[in-house]
Amino acid sequence: MLTVDAALDRLTHAMTEARKAGADAADAMYIGDASTSISVRLGALEDIGRSEGEEIGLRVFVGQRVASVSTSDLSTAGLALVVERALAMAREATEDDYAGLAPADRLMQGAAPDLDLDDGGDPSADALKVAALAAEDAARAVPGITNSEGGGASAGRAVTALATSAGFAQGYRGTSYGISASVIAGAGEGMQRDYAYRMARYLNDLEAAETIGKQAGERAVKRVNPIKLGTQALPVVFDPRVGSSLLGHLVGALTGSSIARKTSFLLDSLGQQIFADGIQVLDDPHRIRGMRSRPFDGEGLATTPTHIIKDGVLTQWLMDSAAARQLGLQPTGHAVRGTTGPPGAGPANLHLAAGTLSPTELIADIKYGLYVTELIGMGVNGLTGDYSRGASGFLIENGELTVPVAEITIAGNLKDMFRALVPASDLEFIHATNVPTIRIDGMTLAGA
């Protein structure tokens, strides 16, 4: 894996050669990563994995024609072949009125902000094995656990670099670590599984492996012998680990490509109130040690913290340059990309701001409702907002979680769900997308 400086040298070389060969403009991206993962099951090592890879993607423009080619051969000869192929493809491509690099005056200037993404660590496979075993052992030690799907630990480092013929050349590197456990409780038809995992940029920021494992075990035991429910309307409360998917559906409807193609259920909602007063959804690419923190976007634009939803109002779309041109707008610094294909758009570190009620207070007045801890399937229509997903969790009776529930479907429409959404106060910044406990009244449950 190259250093940032070495990666930028290769990218600059590829672009220079592309311009010499006839490209009107070009950009190039390098992604290199290396990771080690350990899996254990029933107290024994099951698998050791080590992966290392690096790739350069070159995008060239000939007039309004564009093509992208990627390669893992970073030699001078390998890059020369990529340049040749990319230009040959571009000359045969159909003209695209919206193709082009990001506006030069919008590119990030100066040094990239230090987001503290790399702790400099490189734990050994033995150290990772110890953590994986500790997580699984703690999970299996919970009374009622009858089997295990295993424990895991991982460590990795990645380098990202981007250069464009408009003069941008920057890169950054980051580490990531993870610990997980998944176990089974009960027996026969009442048997249930559950899991817990954590990821962090710094190894020292991870919770103890024993804590993660114990959480997995306790979650599984609570789910044993679930009941089924009949079809009805009722309040639904989303646990934070599944509630984050609601923000995924939101941002999927806000990308420039969805708006340009008119395939979003929020097509005419810019500047409109789509959540209740006081609801805030923020994207923060500059969060220190954030799992998706980035100093610049996939086109070289500076990233900035953004209120996507402010006091319930939708403030902006998430725009890459091509979609922005098509819509007559400006890119927003949300371009995301790999080494192949054109950029798209997406958030960095996304979160729903905390409310004022504790989770206990949030459900205190629910006489009969559902607390969801797992969602299954992807039954969401991005064009209409219709929502229907398999679920399991716990019955809420008189403000308390009681018996486990499984084999049900919850349904609604995302427009109605967003307007009814009420967040609790228990927001934690654990993942790239984070939400507190969420309550939505008036959903439909389809059961037995």
Q: Are residues 270 and 320 in the same domain?
A: yes
Q: Identify the domain containing residue 148 by its residue range.
A: 4-220
- Give pLDDT < 70 ranges for the chain: 448
Q: 215 with 233, same domain?
A: no
Q: In terms of DSSP H, where are the helices of 166-228?
A: 209-222
Q: pTM above 0.95?
A: no
Would you report the helix, strand and coil content of the chain in percent, each value rounded to 5?
Answer: 25, 40, 35
Q: Do both 290 and 204 map to the same domain?
A: no
Find out whether 199 and 178 touch, Cβ atoms under 8 Å: yes
Query: By three-state DSSP, how is residue 142 classified?
Result: coil
Domain end point (choices 175, 193, 220): 220
Please tell me whether residues 287 and 194 are part of one structural domain: no
How far apart, in Å, are the Cα atoms of 334 and each of 188, 219, 250, 347, 410?
A: 48, 36, 15, 6, 32
* 114 and 56 fall within a common domain: yes
pLDDT for the residue numbered 379? 85
pLDDT tens digits, one per residue of 267-301: 999 999 999 999 999 999 999 999 999 999 999 99
300 and 434 together in one domain? yes
Domain final residue, candidates 220, 237, 262:
220
Reference 162, options 29, 51, 281, 290; nearest CA is 29
280 lies in the same domain as 208 = no
Instruction: Tell me the per-residue pLDDT of 62-101, one tens digit each, with 9 for 90 and over.
Output: 999 999 999 999 999 999 999 999 999 999 999 999 999 9
Q: In angstroms, rounded to a whole number, what is the distance separating the alpha carbons of residues 60 and 83?
A: 8
> Which one of 220, 236, 263 terminates a domain?
220
pLDDT at 111: 87
- The answer on 231 and 143 residing in a single domain is no
Q: Are strands 44-62 and 335-336 parallel, antiparallel or unpaired?
A: unpaired
Residues 210 and 232 in one domain: no
Q: What is the domain count for the chain?
A: 2
Does 309 lie in the same domain as 160? no
Query: Which of 219, 220, 223 is CA-nearest to residue 392?
Result: 223
